[in-house]
Amino acid sequence: MATILVTGSCGGVGSWAVDHFAEAGQEVVGVDRRLPSGTRENAAFKAADLTDYGETKQLVEAADPGAVVHLAAIPNPDHHAGSRVFENNVVSTYNVLDAAGAAGARIAWASSESCYGHAFAEEHWLPDAFPIDEETPTEPEDPYGLSKVVGEEIAARVARRYGVSAVSLRASWVNYPGAYETRAAREAFDPATAEPSGNFWSYVDVRDLIAAVEAAIDPAAPEPPVAGHEAVLVTAAENFVGRDTAAAIEAVHGDLPDDCDLDGDETAFDLGKAKRVLGWEPAHSWREAEGVDVDGPEFV
């Protein structure tokens, strides 16, 4: 495959993606608002404002990528005005994906389980059924979740317009090996006093998310695994509190939908489509990842 262009290359997931593909011998172009402090073999870096279409299109055309991995975004609605979160995420996603489609590149980008509307809702509520899957209605109230719903429509439009493959990865809370933030949350968890969880204590290891990205673009294959656009859930196999998921939801939320098929501590999200479409399953759990010593990207 030709070059892989990664946006958000100085961010958490983006830097791990650049590192992974560069280590595998792929030529990578990393794009972010700033340049990294270091260098990485097999990787070149560009600084750009991805909300500027002309600037974005020039960089994509110059890179002539075989795949574009769009990971740049304001990652939640808590630290910026809602209008800024929505505008930045939607405009940058349109610009990057449209330029990628025009270049004939395979596309994978970071959507979110926030698109369902539970994560940042002012009043937490429950879906009609568990596990949640890709057919569960998306009903966000917040600007971040809404930006992901719109982003998925953009991805679908680009796939139709240019005939390219586009995968929207509905990732959960990303954690990093050796630096998991789940331990404190789990140790403080008490079903009697806990606040309702917007994502039902789900998470994903960054290494598993990068594996899903790789499966979505499949650099080694002559044809992509997906024709057109697909949205795919990507989470760890289990919750991070180490408790029965259904029992924890009922205890904290005070209710449980009649249609509930959850076994033990398994994730509240159905990962079946990821396995069917991408051949992907999570390989990492908080049980081993919280204490491991894994070298992360050094160029940032």
Q: What is the mean pLDDT of residues 4-15?
A: 98
- The values of phi and psi at residue 277, to 5°, are -85, -40
Sign of CA dihedral 251, 269, 150, 80: positive
pLDDT at 250 over 90: yes
pLDDT class of 79 with cuts at 50, 70, 90? confident
Does 3.40.50.720 match the CATH number of domain 4-289?
A: yes
- In tens, the pLDDT along 167-216 reads 999 999 999 999 999 999 999 999 999 999 989 999 999 999 999 999 99
Would you kindly state where each structural domain of the chain is located, as residue ranges?
4-289
From the number of C-beta atoms within 10 Å of its C-beta (0-12, 13-18, 19+), residue 150 rates as: middle
Tokens linked to 107? 């596309």
Give pLDDT, residue 76. 83
| 156: nearest Cα among 224, 97, 215, 84 | 97
Angle of CA points 279, 170, 225, to nearest 5°: 30
pLDDT at 78 over 90: no
Q: What is the mean pLDDT of residues 4-13?
A: 98
Tokens linked to 143? 């600007």
- In tens, the pLDDT along 272-289 reads 999 999 999 999 999 999
| 224: nearest Cα among 233, 234, 214 | 214
Give pLDDT, residue 122. 85
Distance CA 237, CA 288 (A): 13
Tokens linked to 127? 């879906």
Give pLDDT, residue 1. 59
- In tens, the pLDDT along 104-145 reads 999 999 999 999 999 898 888 899 999 999 999 999 999 999
| 287: nearest Cα among 198, 196, 186 | 186
Share of the chain above pLDDT 90, in %: 94
